[in-house]
Amino acid sequence: MLAVPGGDQQQQEEEEEEEAALGSGARYAKAGAGPAPLAPSQPGGGGRCRGQDYSSQAAPPEPEPGAGIGPGAERPRTAMAMAWRAAPRAARLLLGRRGIASCIDPSTGLTEDQKEFQKVALDFAAKEMAPYMAEWDEKEIFPVETMRKAAQLGFGGIYVKPDVGGSGLSRLDTSIIFEALSTGCTSTTAYMSIHNMCVWMIDTFGNEEQRRRFCPSLCSMEKFASYCLTEPGSGSDAASLLTSAQRKGDNYVLNGSKAFISGGGDTDVYVVMCRTGGPGPKGISCLVLEKGMPGLSFGKKEKKVGWNSQPTRAVIFEDCVVPVGNRLGAEGQGFSIAMQGLNGGRINIASCSLGAAHASVLLAQEHLSVRKQFGEPLANNQYLQFRLAEMATRLVAARLMVRNAAQALQDGREDAPVLCSMAKLFATDECFGICNQALQMHGGYGYLKDYAVQQFVRDIRVHQILEGTNEVMRMIVARNLLQG
């Protein structure tokens, strides 16, 4: 840089430096004289990086018609789009857009405390998760350290009781937190919600000894947990599971296998539903297994369309010996424990979908404002305006359903389980539609892995399938309507 003396120059440097440190997060430049100040600790550059918004900078000239999306062509390059890997647009938009009150603002109607929780979670998502979301997806990295950082803030056992290390918050607080974290990386947040569900199950149905043995290290995420219900032969028909647990003295001996287990092979604690009695739900019990127990092994890591920041493997039991002291609750109570865990799990998964949809709406909003065709921004087209409005409307509707169900579950209302099913059904379906629409609005760019919207689409697609398929959700709602 030219060392031209004069105040202007210095101010310019300082502004750039601040902008660099405050903005992109990856660059760090203090040009000019003097010894370099202390280097910033990675990631994210020196100090806290704020969501500097570069969109006041005009976009570069539009490509020639017919240029296509070959490597040589110009892309709608706001500085934000270019810096997506280092400081993703979605994260910047979220940090930035938080400042403007809008119809899809997720903080409306929340208490002061809930707004604080949401703020911390959004900050964490934008700084610790969003910059890495693409890399975690591409390289299939299970981000253990980042999750442990989240656990330090209390996100490891959000609705677990404080006496064993949990944060003791409500289901609604939990929903708000997962929705916010999901804007940073949906796949990782979804795993964290599964982890939280398992810790809650041990906290709620375990005896004192089990709670103290397992919960503290799970709340801090020193250890990670997996939920094992599904089997190759029993998915929606969960009660027909076959993994057997034969009582032999002070132990159970397990034989069978579980399929599609999130975290399987990398996690330490496994909450396993297995058959200790006769057929049907009443013969199922819940056992807690630990990695390293003889007879416990894992299948190959599955290759998935999304959720790539968490490994998915089969869990195999071959004469696996588990002490009776590892059983949660009574024999035959396992299915009920599993279903009660899933009520919360469904809220959480729906909340993850909400976060992804919110981020996608912001990305679409931005793209429509920047991208020009036929001489004007896409946002001038009424069709796209209407589509965006519909996306926003459905997002808010889904959010209200999820929060309503969370409150019902917190209050222990009788209709809570069916409300959770309705919320999961509605939110996951609608949010996938929203993310998909957002991708469509991006045109060809939406299909490129350089742009975040495709990852949101891929990551939340599975939310319509797991924790009870949306078809099973309909079964539950229909049963509630027609049996009563």
Partner 1 sequence: MAGKPWGAHLRQVRPPEPAVPPQVRVAPGGAGVQTQGVKHGLNPFCEIALEEAVRLREGGKASEVIAVSLGTKASQETLRTALAVGADRAVLAEVTEGAAPGPLEVASALAALARRLQPQLVLLGKQAIDDDCNQTAQLLAAMLDWPQGTFISRLELESGAVRVQREVDGGLETLRLRLPAVLSADLRLNEPRYATLPNIMKAKKKPLEVIPASDLGVSGGPSRLKVLQVQEPPARAGGEKVENVETLVEKLRQSGRI
Of 2 and 482, nearer to partner 1 (C-beta) is 2
In the complex, the smallest distance separating the C-beta of residue 96 from partner 1, rounded to whole angstroms, is 4
* Structure letter (DSSP) for residue 412: T
Token digits for 231? 């089997």
Using CB under 8 A, list all residues that contact partner 1: 4, 10, 18, 21-22, 32-35, 37-38, 40-41, 46-48, 50-53, 55-58, 61, 93, 95-101, 112-113, 115-117, 119-120, 123-124, 152-155, 158, 162, 167, 169
Please give the radius of gyration of the chain, using alpha carbons only, rounded to the nearest integer. Answer: 24
Residues known to be catalytic: 467
Of 130 and 296, nearer to partner 1 (C-beta) is 130
In the complex, the smallest distance separating the C-beta of residue 97 from partner 1, rounded to whole angstroms, is 5
Using an 8 Å Cβ cutoff, are 215 and 165 in contact? Answer: yes
Of 177 and 322, nearer to partner 1 (C-beta) is 177
Q: Is 377 helix (H, G, I), strand (E, B) or coil?
A: strand
Of 18 and 331, nearer to partner 1 (C-beta) is 18
Q: Which of 85, 265, 113 is nearest to 177 (CA)?
A: 113
Using an 8 Å Cβ cutoff, are 46 and 40 in contact? Answer: yes
Please name the residues in contact with 275: beta carbons below 8 A apart, sequence gap of 6 or more: 241, 242, 243, 244, 245, 283, 284, 285
Q: CA angle, corner 48, sides to 44 and 54, nearest 5?
A: 75
In the complex, the smallest distance separating the C-beta of residue 363 from partner 1, rounded to whole angstroms, is 14
Token digits for 46? 């020196």
In the complex, the smallest distance separating the C-beta of residue 30 from partner 1, rounded to whole angstroms, is 9
Of 184 and 235, nearer to partner 1 (C-beta) is 184
In the complex, the smallest distance separating the C-beta of residue 68 from partner 1, rounded to whole angstroms, is 23
* Structure letter (DSSP) for residue 442: T
Q: Do you know the residue count of the chain?
A: 484
How far is the C-alpha of 348 from the C-alpha of 176, rounded, in Å? 9
